[in-house]
Amino acid sequence: MLLQVENLTVCYDTALVLNSLSVSVDEGELVSLVGPNGAGKSTLLRAITGLVRWEKSTMKGTRGGDITIEGTVHFAGERIDRLSAHDIVKRGLVHCPERRRPFREMTVAENLKAGGYLCGDRKEFHTRLEMVYQLFPVLKDRGNQISGKLSGGEQQMLAIARALMLQPKLLCIDEPSTGLAAKLKQELFERIQEIKASGIAMLLVEQDVSMAFKLASRNYVMSHGKVISEGTSEELLKDEAIRKTYLGL
Ligand SMILES: Nc1ncnc2c1ncn2[C@@H]1O[C@H](COP(=O)(O)OP(=O)(O)OP(=O)(O)O)[C@@H](O)[C@H]1O
Ligand SMILES: [Mg+2]
């Protein structure tokens, strides 16, 4: 397994947001994470990538209390749950956050350069940049445009492109299709398939369940901080209770 999360618990003050949850992602695998609002999907991605502080934290939750985290995360054969977000990124576990727009004041090219900050030498940087431009030609055309002036869909593509500049082994993407029109959603869908075909594993949180289920080989359904069901798309779609209660289908 590339990623193995075991018995992960996250408490914001006294609110139990992740309740002894276990998930895994294999090399090159695309796994989806679906479930109602507030289920803890974003918290899971943020905890895996070191953005929710481990141990007692000085970072205050919205309720003004402490954050408690328990459990283990292994990535590429190494335990990473005590590492800083920066050290986790360096190992190839990259987070593409929800509703997070790229740095709006910077141009597209500057954003991609910022994404490539871990890249040692110029040549390697340009190889990656070419790869990203091949995947998202629109970003090449808009290189000198201020990111804040891109359309919502283009900004979403840029956010993913910037994450790809970090050369992930596993990309955690949080709700990439939110707010996109059908045509752009379809385009994003195709780009995600291409990223998968290039061998990058993904853990995808997606509100559009039918899109998620078409992309993923395996899915987790989350509710109230727990995985309440897991399986292939066909298996989950056969389950009437899951369909109605958790997938809104
Ligand atoms: N910093 C925080 N302090 C306190 N509570 C928090 C904090 N961040 C998240 N929560 C709570 O944790 C719960 C899970 O939130 P999370 O954002 O992980 O859910 P989600 O499944 O991603 O929901 P959505 O589908 O709406 O994005 C929510 O009840 C939320 O209010
Ligand atoms: Mg979320």
- The per-residue pLDDT for range 185-218, each reduced to its tens digit, is 898 999 999 999 999 999 999 999 989 999 999 9
What's the number of CA atoms in the CB half-sphere (13 Å) around residue 31?
Answer: 25
Domain boundary among 113, 142, 167: 167
For the ranges 27-31, 55-59, 190-194, 215-219, the lowest mean pLDDT is seen at 55-59
Looking at the structure, tell me whether residues 110 and 136 fall in a common domain.
Answer: yes
Looking at the structure, tell me whether residues 176 and 70 fall in a common domain.
Answer: yes
Rounded distance between C-alpha atoms, residue 50 and residue 86, angstroms: 8
Can you give the residue range of the structural domain that contains 232? 1-92+169-182+202-249
Please give the residue that has the higher pLDDT: either 24 or 56: 24
Among all bound ligands, the one having the nearest atom to the CA of 38 is 1
Which pLDDT does position 64 carry in this prediction? 55
Residue 225 C-alpha to ligand 2 middle, in angstroms?
A: 12
Cβ atoms within 10 Å, residue 87: 12
pLDDT digits 0-9 by tens, 160-173: 999 999 999 999 99
From the alpha carbon of 61, which atom of ligand 1 is closest? 3
Looking at the structure, tell me whether residues 68 and 178 fall in a common domain.
Answer: yes
Looking at the structure, tell me whether residues 88 and 114 fall in a common domain.
Answer: no
Segment 70-80 mean pLDDT: 96
Radius of gyration (Cα) for the chain, nearest Å? Answer: 18
pLDDT digits 0-9 by tens, 39-54: 999 999 999 999 886 5
Looking at the structure, tell me whether residues 25 and 68 fall in a common domain.
Answer: yes
Longest dimension (CA), the chain: 53
Which pLDDT does position 58 carry in this prediction? 42
Token representation of residue 114 = 């910022």
Confidence label for 249 from pLDDT (cuts 50, 70 and 90): confident
Measured by CA distance, the residue closest to atom 31 of ligand 1 is 38
pTM given for the model: 0.92
Which pLDDT does position 59 carry in this prediction? 46
Pocket test for ligand 1, best of 37, 43, 98 (most atoms within 8 A of CB): 43
Which pLDDT does position 102 carry in this prediction? 67
Among all bound ligands, the one having the nearest atom to the CA of 174 is 2
Residue 25 C-alpha to ligand 2 middle, in angstroms?
A: 19
Rounded distance between C-alpha atoms, residue 210 and residue 186, angstroms: 12
Measured from CB, residues less than 6 Å from any atom of ligand 1 are 12, 15, 17, 37-43, 61-63
In a domain? residue 106? yes
Rounded distance between C-alpha atoms, residue 54 and residue 171, angstroms: 21
pLDDT digits 0-9 by tens, 103-161: 778 999 999 988 877 777 888 889 999 999 999 999 999 999 999 888 888 888 999 99
- As a whole number, the mean pLDDT across the chain is 89
In a domain? residue 107? yes
Residue 110 C-alpha to ligand 1 middle, in angstroms?
A: 31
Report how far Cα 55 is from the mean position of its chain's Cα atoms: 23
